[in-house]
Amino acid sequence: MTDLLQLIVAGTATGGCYALAALGFTLLWQASGTINFALGEMVMLPAFAMLFLLNVAGLPLPLAFLATCALAMAVLGAGFKRVVVDPLIRHGVVPLVIATLGLSIGVKQAVRGVASAEVFTFPSVFSDTLWNIGGLRVSAADIGTVLLACAVVAALQAFLSRTLTGRAMQAVAQNRDAARVLGINVQRMVLYAFLANALLATLAALLITPVYLAKFDMGETLGMKAFYAAIIGGFNNSRGALLGGVIVGVLENLVGAYISSGYKEGVALLLFLVVIIFRPQGLLGTVEERRV
Amino acid sequence: MTTRRTALTLGAALVTAALSYPAMAADTVKIIDNVELSGTGVTSGSMWQKGVDLAVKEINAAGGILGRQIAITHQDNQSQAQIAKAVATRAADEDPYVMLGPIFSGDVNVAMSVAAESEIPMIMGGEAVNLTTQGNQYVFRTSFSQANAMPKVAAYLAKAGIKSVAIVWVANDFGKGGRDTIISELGKRGIKVAADISTEPGQMDFTAAVVNAAKSNADALFAYTNEEESARLLIALRKLGYTKPIYGETVLTSQRVIELAGGAANGAKGHVGLSVDAPNPLVQEFGRKFKAAYGMNSDHNGIKGYTAVYIVKAITERIGKFDRKAFAKALHGATLLAKDYPGVLMDVTYDDKGDLNRESYLVEVKDGKQVITEVLPPLGKQ
């Protein structure tokens, strides 16, 4: 029983990291109908930016994180929207999906060219503290990650439902034309979504890189898992991203421990397929009707 | 008139260039390195490449091999067996004197047939047992075969009073070979395998493996994975509070893994065939040169790459000519003493299969450093 709980706790922490990235998928989809398959690389880039600021500029981790947040909002938020999304979105989702796939490959190879294909160690924001609760060993990193992911989801939910800007963003997500008629600055709301996505990616990088280690292709697995998590939880629901992330993280651990590590990587894909077939709106998502 | 003079000048230049080309080519000796510079083996491959480059630089600065400069080319096999084979095939077409690499046993396993077919010696970094049991006369190791290393590890565990072990291994040729050999050696010493846990190459999350190892209640854990995975495993073991002794063979306690795992590597023990901290002045001098050149400590792969090039130099000078068949024949059964050939760093003996034998070390990671706890003599000299 303790082993099972151990797997669930650790899986929840990993799932929390997936959830932060998955939130980026749901936010962009809701705000601008964008599917971003370069999301994994948007986690990898802040990881390398933080490493640069830590090792070359000599900044402490908190400062490196804050500086990377600002940089990510400018480049991965506003820059990505302006350079990639705005020119392509008018042609539909498919060209944008293809463009982000290309961007993913390009970014990976660029980082490989600059930083080499080697793996780099990354400091943890949490201490090494380990608690033993009735035989269950819980690390500060696991608890911190879960709490942080929950807090981010709760804050995002509160922002979207209780603030004027959040409601305006929701209005844009539901009906752009109606939102425009109501006097909402649609482009600004969309930009906010991109900025929030960049922040979430940077936070995910901070939490997951100490365990995964920094490498040019570290975003491949993470991006894919986050996409599965977003679909499983519900592409149009922020809490769904958290649920999807946790389900993927926990299931991976259970399959790895009780079946085989060989099937571990496939479990998210299997669940993704089941959800797509039987509940395409995701576990917490709502059915969307679109005019054609 | 001017046009005619220009044409004559150009013609003379072309003739001079054409005549000088064979002379330039004759002044160099081509070596192609088939190495893991991306993919899951990049950590090993990068170290190997650095070691090779350092040796080539030193040898060329000292006049080359038999007066010829080494022209080294590194070709990335992306840590994929089929690409390693393609790289070897393309390399053979370029008619090199010797091929170096690959490092990963799976890559060596498919690439080494090219060495036999083209009769080009291949000095590689693989450790799986089966690489030198297939009768290939052109394949030579730079490190112990698992068949030589695992008995030392098993004896170490037995001496430490370990009665049961949880084995965590990576599901590739290297890991499978190591797992099979250690299980056999543990069995001979009455040590029980309490858990047999396979993991995937490139695996990110080792929670399930650690939980299963802890659940087995084994006296110790034996890890046999590649560099990146070893670091992630050590981090997961620390994070989940695994308290039993952790043992490994070569990789787990290597400099690069210690660097990547940080404090999580402390306490890990194991057997290593090569270490820059070895009580050997030549090896320590190499370690200093490596650090000065690259700003980092060399691990076993750096030493393997470095000694590979010096083995080429030593054997070529011994036979006195650039003859690939004679080279392979001379290396089988050869003993190279470090006092005669300092670049090989340690006395080494090759057998008729391409396996090598030399002294090795038991180590423990203390305060982020690999500390040698015992020097083991070459097999057969105990």
Let me know: does A272 contact A229? Beta carbons within 8 Å.
no
Residues of chain B in contact with residue A254, where contact means CB-CB under 8 angstroms, are 208
Query: Which residues lie across from B100 on neighbouring strands?
Result: B33, B123
From chain A, pick out residues whose CB is under 8 angstroms from the CB of B231: 119, 121, 213
- Residue B171 identity (one-letter amino acid): A
What is the per-residue pLDDT across B83-142, written as a single tens digit (0 to 9) for each?
999 999 999 999 999 999 999 999 999 999 999 999 999 999 999 999 999 999 999 999
Note whether B266 contacts A: Cβ–Cβ < 8 A: no
In this predicted structure, the answer to whether residue A1 has a pLDDT above a threshold of 80 is no
Residue spans of beta strands (DSSP E) within chain B = 28-35, 69-76, 98-100, 122-124, 139-141, 164-170, 192-199, 220-224, 246-249, 269-272, 335-336, 348-350, 356-357, 360-366, 369-376
CB distance B46–A6 less than 8 Å?
no
**Residue B10 banded pLDDT, cuts 50, 70, 90:** low
Out of B39, B211, B259, closest to residue A3 by CB: B211
Among A237, A146, A155, residue whose Cα is nearest residue A196: A155
Give the H or E element holding residue A233.
Answer: helix A218-233
pLDDT over threshold 60, residue A150: yes
Model confidence at A262, in pLDDT bands (50, 70, 90)? Answer: confident
| Residues of chain A by 3-state class (helix, strand, coil), percent to 5 | 75, 5, 20
- Predicted confidence at residue A290, as pLDDT, reads 58
Phi/psi-derived region of residue A66, left when phi > 0, alpha when psi is between -120 and 50, beta in every other case: alpha
Q: What is the pLDDT of residue B282?
A: 96
Token pair, residue B158, equals 């037995």
Determine, for residues A119 and B231 on separate chains, whether the beta-carbon distance falls below 8 Å.
yes
* In contact, B344 and B311? CB cutoff 8 Å: yes
Please determine, for residue B3, whether its predicted confidence score (pLDDT) is greater than 90. no
Per-residue buried b or exposed e for B182-209, using 16+ beta carbons within 10 Å of the residue's own CB: bbebbeeeebebbbebbbbbbbbbbbbb
Q: How many beta carbons lie within 10 A of that of residue A25, not counting itself? A: 27
CA distances (Å), A147 to each of A9, A15, A17, A200, B66, in order? 12, 12, 11, 15, 66
> How confident is the model over A39-65, as a mean pLDDT?
96
At residue A206, does pLDDT exceed 90?
yes
Q: Quick one: pLDDT at residue A91?
A: 86
What domains appear along chain B, each with residue ranges and CATH number?
A: 24-144+279-350 (3.40.50.2300), 147-272+361-376 (3.40.50.2300)
A183-191 long-range contacts (CB < 8 A, ≥24 apart) are A189/A31, A189/A165, A190/A31, A190/A32, A190/A81, A191/A77, A191/A78, A191/A81
Q: Write phi, then psi, for B204 (nearest 5 degrees).
A: -95, -40
Of B46, B205, B262, the CB nearest to A14: B205
Confirm if A12 and A249 have CB atoms less than 8 A apart: yes
Is A180 in the B-facing interface, judged by CB distances under 8 Å?
Answer: no
Measured between CB atoms, does B215 come within 8 Å of chain A? yes
Q: In angstroms, rounded to a whole number, what is the distance separating the alpha carbons of residues A40 and A224?
A: 7
Supply the mean pLDDT for chain B. 91
C-alpha angle with apex A93: A87 to A98, nearest 5 degrees?
Answer: 80
Residue of B nearest to A123 (CA): B262
Give the C-alpha separation, B284 to B337, whole Å.
Answer: 17
3-state secondary structure of B139: strand
**Contact call for residues B37 and B31 (beta carbons, < 8 A):** no
Confidence of residue B18 (pLDDT cuts 50, 70, 90): very low
The answer to whether residue A17 scores a pLDDT higher than 50 is yes
Best to test chain B binding among A125, A133, A208, A213 (most B CBs inside 10 Å):
A213
| Confidence bin at B2 (pLDDT 50/70/90) | very low
Residue of A nearest to B42 (CA): A118
* H helix intervals, A73-217: 80, 86-89, 93-115, 140-162, 164-174, 176-181, 186-212
Query: What is the pLDDT confidence band of residue B171, given thresholds at 50, 70 and 90?
Result: very high
Yes or no, beta carbons of B239 and A7 under 8 Å apart = no
- In this complex, the residue of B200, B204, B215 whose CB is nearest that of residue A262 is B200
Q: What is the pLDDT of residues B213-261, one digit of tens each?
A: 999 999 999 999 999 999 999 999 998 889 999 999 989 999 889 999 9
Plot region of A282 (φ>0 → left; ψ -120 to 50 → alpha; else → beta): left
